[in-house]
A and B are shown apart, each in its own frame.
Chain A
Amino acid sequence: MGRKLLLEHINEPGIQTFDVYRQKGGYRAVEKALKNMSPDDVVEEVKKSGLRGRGGAGFPTGMKWSFLAKPEGVSRYLVCNGDESEPGTFKDRYLMTHIPHALIEGMIVSSYALGTNTSYIYVRGEMMPQIRILERAIAETKAAGLLGKNILGTGYDLEIYVQPGGGAYICGEETALLESLEGKRGNPRIKPPFPAVAGLWGCPTVVNNVESIASVVPIINDGGEEYAKIGIERSTGTKLISAGGNVKNPGVYEIELGVPVEEFIYSDEYCGGIANGKRLKALVAGGSSVPILPANLICKTINSDARLMTYESLADGGFQTGTMMGSGGFIVFDEDQCIVRNTWNFTRFYHHESCGQCSPCREGTGWMEKVLYKIEHGQGTIADIDLLWDIQRKIEGNTICPLGDAAAWPVAAAIRHFRDEFEWHVLHSGESQSRNYGLAHYADPIKPVMQ
């Protein structure tokens, strides 16, 4: 059984209330940080912990914090990114629903470290119930004197507000989120300047994912070094994985980074294997944006090493044979799923969510969707597959924000690994409308690569 840092008390009745959370040792980190540590000490601990951003990019949180500009007389802001909308990811919803105080506690400690007096939690508008939960949690914490003016008599003032979004995936991009928080369209900003220099209302701002902020609590409680002992190499600590798709036990699991992928899929402690006794066909390991892998590249890397749930191991082999940790949205596909249909579905998603500012993404995502629709519905040609490859290449890397890449990668990976399924759709256009290509050879052992 792996260690649980975030979800240790998740099954405790009433843990969503302040009293029970406090009884279980909650808000110790606030006391420790505010009374015994300087803000820089807190930043230092987070640096030592090796914590990497849990929202998708995996950028070291401590380093991000140390970039924050601190000009005299200018307000700074901490904004928590709770816009969770990457298909496959639902860990932040889980955390905010069931232990909201873990986030609030993390917010207080992080705000103290960054020297902000007002912090915002931006939560996607669809999570209205979670917004209410967080607001209630904030009110409780304030009533207990852990938030507001002169917290614990230390002279530190902090207000936390919850801001609802309006329904836009793009607001998960940090500068789009800031635009949205300012009451504007969620158009990502052109960088530089980065938020650390000019963020919310032009002030220095740090934007962190819900899980990253909640993870600061155990880091302060146990020390950064202790946290860094969990995990492997540069993948330290625990991570929430949202397991969905065709697994027996979908849900949110806290894992110690380094658990083998095979164990995560098949062990009863986690997903419990593929649902309905079916076989594994493909996996999206980190949310819809990351490259999809066929069965034979999931549990073992191309070099036949066991693939582990770490940033490095999942990325082993680059985009040729690897994928990414992303936001930990673990989507499992069984043998009955159609990769072409799923790719079309994902592309429709990115088309729908493109903000429309820059031309490659605005026009390219819609174009890819149309071509994929055509192939999926038996009207495609082999040339369409090559066209699709070319369109994604023209989008990737050429856009203002990473949404372009996020739209291009799933298409590229699907064609790279499942090209024969696409070709089968084209060549057997009638048959492809009545049955799926099935598992085909996607689980066959890979021939060792001779150098």
Chain B
Amino acid sequence: MAEEVVKFKVTIDGIPVEVDPGTTILNAARQIGGDIVPPAMCYYSKLEGTGGKCRTCLVKVSKGSEKDPRPMPKLVASCRTTVMDGMEVQNITSPDVVEARKGVVEMLLINHPLDCPVCDQAGECKLQDLGYEHGNEGTRYEFERRTFERIDIGDKIQLHMNRCILCYRCVYVANQLTEEREHGVLNRGDHSEISTFIEKALDHDFVGNVIDVCPVGALTDKTFRFKNRVWFTKPVDAHRNCPTCAGKVTLWYKGDEVLRVTGRKDEYGEVEDFICNTCRFETKHTSDWTLEEPTPVDHESVIGANHYLAFNPPSVIHENKKLQLANEEQLARTERLK
């Protein structure tokens, strides 16, 4: 007889889903997919312990569980809150959540240099997406923005601390994928910065993954620096027999030339497998690789030639004036795209 598998029923923005116990609200939402998935800037499912910091994934738990239906008193970080059976969660159907998220996006941007025109991450930047989807058009911040000295961390990785949102993902990469961590978060508060403190090149086999996990343009591939805009390059999935890593990558072509190699990312920007530095930085000839197929590109991405997706919320939002008002900017975006 097969063992009975216990599943928890959760409802997110009115859409029910059954998930394994221990699943977070965010991952339950990802199982549903679409516009009700909270954005996540610091959580990374393949790095243990990440999440909870950026606060963009805040949601409202309007019913704690079947057993204890009391709502949670505050908004919670969906990436670090596990579901209970019968839990009801509101994301874009809660004006409070939409409002709070707008606040978080504004906070993340007040000290950001907004140098997208010269940033290599532009076009695949999660902060750009976030600003576009949840932010205000203008800023209310009128003070000088925080700046840091640019620190060289080796000849392969470029650190632009000004752009960093302190998601800590790169610190977890060094902790979990390399034998010794040489960079970390120094100072505190809004002076916090990613740094090596002493001049040092990061050169562990897997440390190049800090580039892939960085949601913004703080850590970029120096071998790709200013080579091209990502939307002019063509991503192709490829593999090779690599002694160090799985060797499954995406090659970014311009004409016949491989400009850059990255891990294969899913729609949430997470790589399928972490790749080694040799694959990433030193294997840039087509002859090194077995090509598979053009990488499927998310329609929302500019890499897919400006196919921005319309906002497609659950129908309850279209029926409710208050919720329409809360999602005003997101709905207006759909209008603009028409």
What's the minimum C-beta distance from A220 to chain B, rounded to whole angstroms? 34
> Does A185 lie within 8 Å of B188, measured CB to CB?
yes
- Determine the chain B residues whose CB is within 8 A of the CB of A26 once the complex forms: none
- B261 lies within 8 A of chain A by Cβ: no
- Determine the chain A residues whose CB is within 8 A of the CB of B53 once the complex forms: 190, 357-359, 400
- A164 lies within 8 A of chain B by Cβ: no
- For B41, the closest partner residue in chain A by CB is A359
Docked CA distance A399–B143 (Å): 23
> Does B166 lie within 8 Å of A362, measured CB to CB?
yes
> Does A355 lie within 8 Å of B188, measured CB to CB?
yes
Proximity string of chain A (393-407) to chain B, C-beta cutoff 8 Å, 1 when within and 0 when not: 111011110000000
Docked CA distance A322–B111 (Å): 35
Please tell me the size bucket of the interface on B. 20 to 34
- Determine the chain B residues whose CB is within 8 A of the CB of A355 once the complex forms: 188-189
Proximity string of chain B (221-254) to chain A, C-beta cutoff 8 Å, 1 when within and 0 when not: 0000000000000000000000000000000000
What's the minimum C-beta distance from A395 to chain B, rounded to whole angstroms? 8
- A364 lies within 8 A of chain B by Cβ: yes
Q: Would you list which residues of chain A between 197 and 251 have a CB under 8 Å from chain B?
A: none
* Known A190-B51, A359-B55; contact A352-B107, beta-carbon cutoff 8 A: no
* Known A394-B103, A398-B55; contact A363-B190, beta-carbon cutoff 8 A: yes
> Does A354 lie within 8 Å of B140, measured CB to CB?
no
Q: Would you list which residues of chain B between 147 and 203 have a CB under 8 Å from chain A?
A: 165-166, 168, 185, 187-192
> Does B188 lie within 8 Å of A365, measured CB to CB?
no
- Determine the chain A residues whose CB is within 8 A of the CB of B100 once the complex forms: 394, 397-398
> Does B104 lie within 8 Å of A360, measured CB to CB?
yes
Docked CA distance A387–B138 (Å): 14
- A370 lies within 8 A of chain B by Cβ: yes
Docked CA distance A185–B193 (Å): 13
Task: Say whether chain A's binding surface is mostly helix, strand, loop, or mixed.
Answer: helix
Which of A352, A357, A365, A397 gathers most chain B CB within 10 Å?
A: A357
Instruction: Tell me which of A185, A357, A359, A393 contacts B104 (CB under 8 A).
Output: A359
> Does A359 lie within 8 Å of B108, measured CB to CB?
yes
Instruction: Tell me which of A356, A360, A367 contacts B55 (CB under 8 A).
Output: A360
> Does B191 lie within 8 Å of A356, measured CB to CB?
yes
What's the minimum C-beta distance from A167 to chain B, rounded to whole angstroms? 10
Please tell me the size bucket of the interface on A. 20 to 34
- For B188, the closest partner residue in chain A by CB is A356
> Does B104 lie within 8 Å of A370, measured CB to CB?
no
Binds A, one of B74-82, B212-220, B277-285, B317-325: B74-82
- For B140, the closest partner residue in chain A by CB is A387
- Determine the chain B residues whose CB is within 8 A of the CB of A370 once the complex forms: 143
Q: Would you list which residues of chain B between 133 and 149 have a CB under 8 Å from chain A?
A: 140-141, 143
- For A364, the closest partner residue in chain B by CB is B107
Given contacts A168-B188, A359-B107, 7 further A-B contacts (CB under 8 A): A190-B52, A190-B80, A356-B166, A359-B108, A363-B108, A363-B110, A398-B104
Interfacial residues, chain A to chain B (CB-CB below 8 A): 168, 185, 190, 351-360, 362-367, 370, 387, 393-395, 397-400
Across chains A and B, which 3 residue pairs bring their CB atoms closest together, nearest first?
A394-B103, A190-B52, A356-B192
